[in-house]
Amino acid sequence: MALKRILLIISILHADSFHANHRFPGQSSRPRHLSQIQRHETHDNDRRDNSYESSASSIKAIVSSLTSISNFFSLSSQQQQRQTPSFETRISAAPSRTPPNTSAELLERIREDYARNNYLWTGKLDTSSFTQNCKFTDPTISFEGVDKYVRNVENLVPVVDFLLGKEPTSKSELLEIRSNKEEGYIETRWNMVGELNILPWKPRIDVIGRTKFWYQTSKDGKGGKDAVRVYLYDETWEIPAGLALLQLVTPAGTIANSTIAN
């Protein structure tokens, strides 16, 4: 989901690098935002998982601000969007699909989002499997509503596609998937990997994380059947958000994709 938002941080990091190379006498050579990120590394590294609640407030503020800016500038293209397929039609893997009838069917649709749709990079989710007011949370941002998810992803996809280059090497590798029927969620463990080929230093994003898809059952399915939909998307990473951001400015492989011992 919002993992792709870390790509927008490049604009800030690149600007910091520029000022570091063109600084006035006596000015620190340390990029300001990198210093802010690294100040939280040691603290965050002590945590077993890294969620929205545990992430540094400065990281969340940066990502939230950049997302808002991206959404603001996208308003200028609304007229064009009215003349093209709707957000949901373009982003959703199956916008007109009926919702799953069982938790087992929901699990298979989630599996498909990783295996076929590469959704961690493309944003393509089966939105029919989510309630309209579903809450989406990852270590950098939290918001409610499928419509807002679609709008955020729509604004980010062109940036991501550009950074990946003409021959993208990105994947959403599903490491594990399991169902907890007693508590009502499906949990995945995944590895998001991609090389940003368009950038001269060719950074590599490599993050392992987990997502819990909390679901509920209602009786509004087609023909009066059960409808099983996700009402809470809760994503955590196995490295601090700050370290994930630092992968953008360090050589590939410098930062491990997980700090949790197997």
pLDDT of residue 107: 98
pLDDT at 188 over 50: yes
- Report percent pLDDT > 70 for the chain: 61
120-153 pLDDT, tens digit each: 998 999 999 999 999 999 888 889 999 999 988 8
Q: Mean pLDDT of all residues in the chain? A: 75
pLDDT of residue 253: 80
Between 238 and 59, name the one with better pLDDT: 238
| Closest alpha carbon to 50 in 226, 207, 155 | 207
pLDDT (average), residues 171-195 = 96
pTM: 0.74
The residues, ordered by sequence, that sit 6+ positions from 243 with a Cβ below 8 Å of its Cβ are: 41, 44, 45, 255, 259
24-58 pLDDT, tens digit each: 344 344 444 444 544 554 444 544 556 555 555 65
220-260 pLDDT, tens digit each: 866 778 999 999 999 999 988 888 888 888 878 888 888 88
